[in-house]
Amino acid sequence: MQVAEKAIPVFEKTHPGAIGVFAFDNSSAHAAFAADALLAKAMNVNPGGKQPIMRDTVFDGQVQQMVFPDDHPDASLRGKAKGMRAVLQERQLWKERMIGFCNSNTPTSDSCCMRHVLEKQGRLYEPALCTSRTD
């Protein structure tokens, strides 16, 4: 919209008779993820809160649900995002006193923090760039 309404008229005024070629850098879109993308960095340690509702996935041949079911025994958890601790416990990757996030962008060990343990699980937390689930 801004190009058609502002940039092109300015170009035509300042360069009469010339042909303009406009190039755009859409690199900010490279960081765009589907609303239900599997991103450990977007998860909370505990259930609920402001974390997104992520899509279910398959890991090692088993479905990993990312949201508590509507018939969960604890009514306060029904329909809420599980959080990293619950997913790690279900995958049997939980270790006592594990912190949610370390200060590194790359893992410093196999269990430096919950985020990196989940990110190392491959397909379970493979970013779904610019798409949403269609199946």
What pLDDT score was predicted for residue 128?
40
pTM confidence score = 0.67
Say how many Å lie between the first and final Cα of the chain, rounded.
34
Please report, in tens digits, the pLDDT of each residue of the chain (135 residues total).
566 777 788 888 888 899 988 777 666 666 677 888 888 889 999 999 999 999 888 777 788 899 999 999 999 999 999 999 999 999 999 998 899 998 887 777 777 899 988 888 765 544 443 334 343
**Of the candidates 63, 32, 35, 43, the residue with the CA atom closest to the CA atom of residue 133:** 35
pLDDT of residue 58: 77
